[in-house]
Structure 1
């Protein structure tokens, strides 16, 4: 009888030990050196900017030392979307969990807009041209100010490295990413707009930062550059007047010549513009994806995930 009790106690002890080990393995709060560590969690924030409540989601990975600053990636949604949508589908929270950085998913405001003669109310970032499609009589809020205030707030709450702040955006969020590359590049180390075209505004960037520009040749937002047709893949793309104007404008704005190199694979074309005009060291990458439509690639909607390309790009740069 005693022997059976001993066996039972040994089994119970082993079970408890395994339970404690697994629990600690999921969300350990202190490392072997005694440093306090973060637990993985989602945190929703509301910040009042110019009298308007602005919302954003923070993804905090497990295992960050609270005394050691880490990078942060902002993911900006497209028209009609919000932070919740891209928290779920972009892949950035999963990448942040693996690589140990913060990922932030802000939401834009909703406006009455008129596009292609159709009036609707939908979310839009205040990119360079929002005033040209907004219904009259609305106040258009300053999203650059929102971004700056959000970043300041985050730096008071989380161990974020101010030298490693990165932004990616899709569609209208990509357009706003381009605006941030001009008007907030003093606090951003690198940007990656997807599914968006840059429009010239004759503004000088606060800093010449690296840009990774991605889109699909089947993205209908780009069809006007090719008389309403899908974009050609590879070298012929840069012969299109509209594409050459857009990429040339980016090069001119960010202190690069139009000299470039092209690498092609069966499913993509990749241009590098990295010849400076002012002694700068930034770069502009253009990545065209074969058969990709108007989407932010996440590995499910397209065979390549943007995060797998962009994190290695982002992590090379700091202010």
Structure 2
């Protein structure tokens, strides 16, 4: 049975105030400490490749204080610098005094829906795309783990408060991290992308997860009718819907099975803005939950206040900061 308490007003109560400028930042040469306040570009060797990531160090960062970290993973064709510029996370990092990290995925020849192309991708396999013959997919779990180790060497990192957000293909990689890196991240947000395979996974740790998607999101370059937010409970609980709509329950059910959640959910939010289905753990565990958020007026994008009214970085942080690793 699906429980429906009174609708809440907003996706995440109160938006946080921002500080800083959204213009493109230049990279300053690092100081002897190995970093500068603001934008930093780092490279690191992983399995013979030189991998890249950007870090924004807020002006209030204090090396004597353990500081939270948020990773932001870009989507297909993007890179870390693009999402440094457009995601809104560096501004939240300044306002909240958190280190924000923007890794770049690897460029591959891939086959996607029968079309060969060369583009950047996170190794989120199994996925709807496949590498071309002769391509070797990189170990992005190892890459992200390497970044965490380097951050802990360069900065005073709060090891219990490291978080991750991913968009599109980055959302698929975020889903993979809920299974393979749940011992390292305190909470994870999958945005516009999640598990592709309809299977049951075994996570290292049961953890808090949010999946968010727009009611006009049919994937990159695709369009379709806006889905009424009032139908979220039907979308998540009705079997046999067409693929354009059954994808919602598939994503939810993979999380329910893999994280041993109660299949009954509560609906909250506002059908004029964001509707949220919340699943809780079968066994009492406040750190094991899944939220499915359907956002009104959003197509395939990570909402940043410019491409959509919602500033997801603010809202995601307002939720994530409530969790820490045990």
Measured against the shorter chain, the TM-score band is: 0.7 to 0.9
1:130 shift after superposition:
4.8
TM-score of the aligned structures, taking structure 1 as reference length: 0.83
Contact kept? 2:60, 2:94, Cα under 8 Å = no
Q: How does 1:46-65 map to 2 (within 5 A)?
A: 46-65=43-62
SS at match of 1:112: strand
Name 1:220's counterpart in structure 2: 218
SS at match of 1:133: strand
Name 1:301's counterpart in structure 2: 307
1:258 equivalent among 256, 263, 266: 263
Distance 1:211 1:264 in 2: 17
Name 1:108's counterpart in structure 2: 105
Name 1:248's counterpart in structure 2: 253
1:270 shift after superposition:
1.1
SS at match of 1:205: coil
Q: How does 1:1-319 map to 2 (within 5 A)?
A: 40-130=37-127, 132-199=129-196, 200-221=198-219, 230-234=226-230, 235-238=233-236, 239=238, 240=241, 241-265=246-270, 266-274=272-280, 276-281=281-286, 282-319=288-325
Computed over aligned residues only, the root mean square deviation of the Cα atoms, in angstroms, reads 2.2
Distance 1:132 1:213 in 2: 21
SS at match of 1:53: strand
Question: More displaced, 105-114 or 200-209?
Answer: 200-209
SS at match of 1:302: coil
Larger Rg: 1
Distance 2:135 2:36 in 1: 42
Distance 2:179 2:93 in 1: 26
TM-score of the aligned structures, taking structure 2 as reference length: 0.81
Report the count of equivalent residues: 280
The structure with higher relative contact order (CA 8 Å, sep 6+) is 2
Q: Deviations over 1:29-73 (max 9, x none)?
A: xxxxxxxxx963211100000001000001000122211111000
